[in-house]
Amino acid sequence: MSAVKTLEAVARDRVGKGAARAVRRQGQVPAVVYGGGQPPQSIAIDLIRTRTLIYAGGFKTTLFEINAGGKKTRAIPRDFQLDPVSGVPMHVDFLRVVAGQTVTVEVPVHFHNEDAAPGIKQQGGTLNISLHTLAVEVAPDQIPDGIEIDLTGRQIGDVIHVSDVTLPAGVVYTGEATDPIANVVPPTVLGAEVEAEEAAIAEAQSAEAEAEKVEAEAEEAEAAAEASEEKKED
């Protein structure tokens, strides 16, 4: 379960594009906290801190206690915008959370013990992942860091469905229990096919090069013969 993180902020009394640009010039990121039956609250948060949190991963599954001028609010990030060129955070939306509320978040799936899966370790199969995250409904203070899946004993052809996974207490998957998360597929023959294709191409190129060499030699011999004939005529 992710720990609640503290996030220092400054309350903003001005909104709009001009105000947002001014906030960014000061090395901060404009943000808003909404929901919970209360009016939206405009805030500014430190750029470096925000960028670090976003790129560290798990930003949208982290519960924050936002301290803006002594007023503390618990909220979870719902969305953020990055500059398409520089990747710098441009804006963050936080959802205010209250007691008894649940939120829907995407929780990453973590696979363990591939070495203990005969289909992968001994038989050379590959784990084909269909869902890298699971959309779950959960209380904000019970969001898990990830959904753990043990691959021990998995054979080629095995399919792991959501119903095969034990979710943490209080975590409810929003999709169907029959949704496949991953399966173990047989060793691909693509590698052998690629090698054969590459060998055929190399052989064709070699034959083409040899043909070009023979043709060039023939042209040189023909040119030499013509030169010799012209010399005799002179």
Query: How high is the pLDDT of residue 113?
Result: 93
- Dig out the tokens for 43 from the structure: 């805030």
Nearest to 80 by CA among 43, 52, 106, 54: 54
Same domain, 165 and 131: yes
Same domain, 174 and 122: yes
Query: How high is the pLDDT of residue 225?
Result: 65
CB 7, CB 49: distance < 8 Å: yes
Domain boundary among 73, 96, 119: 96
The CA distance from 128 to 234, in Å, is 79
Query: How high is the pLDDT of residue 23?
Result: 87
Same domain, 132 and 110: yes
The predicted-structure confidence for 66-118, as pLDDT tens digits, reads as follows: 999 888 999 999 999 999 999 999 999 999 998 788 999 999 999 999 999 99
Same domain, 10 and 34: yes
Backbone angles phi and psi of 113, in degrees to 5 = 65, 45
Rounded to two decimals, what is the model's pTM?
Answer: 0.68
The predicted-structure confidence for 8-65, as pLDDT tens digits, reads as follows: 999 887 777 888 888 899 999 999 999 888 899 999 999 999 999 999 988 999 999 9
Query: How high is the pLDDT of residue 232?
Result: 60
The CA distance from 52 to 215, in Å, is 64
Average pLDDT over the chain reads 87
List the domain range (segments joined by +) for residue 11.
Answer: 5-96
- Whether 192 has a pLDDT exceeding 60, the answer reads no
- The alpha helices in the chain, defined as continuous H runs, are 17-25, 47-55, 118-121, 190-233
Same domain, 39 and 58: yes
Task: Select the more confidently predicted residue: 25 or 225.
Answer: 25
The CA distance from 62 to 77, in Å, is 7
DSSP E strand stretches across 21-70: 28-35, 38-46, 64-68
Domain boundary among 160, 185, 210: 185
Domain boundary among 39, 64, 96: 96
- Whether 189 has a pLDDT exceeding 70, the answer reads no
Same domain, 109 and 81: no
CA distances for 14 relative to 44, 94, 139, angstroms: 11, 18, 32
The total domain count for the chain is: 3
User: The CATH number of the domain where 155 resides is what?
Assistant: 2.170.120.20
Same domain, 82 and 127: no
Same domain, 86 and 128: no
Question: Average pLDDT, stretch 158-165?
Answer: 94
Same domain, 159 and 217: no
Most confident of 7-21, 141-155, 211-225: 141-155
CB 177, CB 162: distance < 8 Å: yes
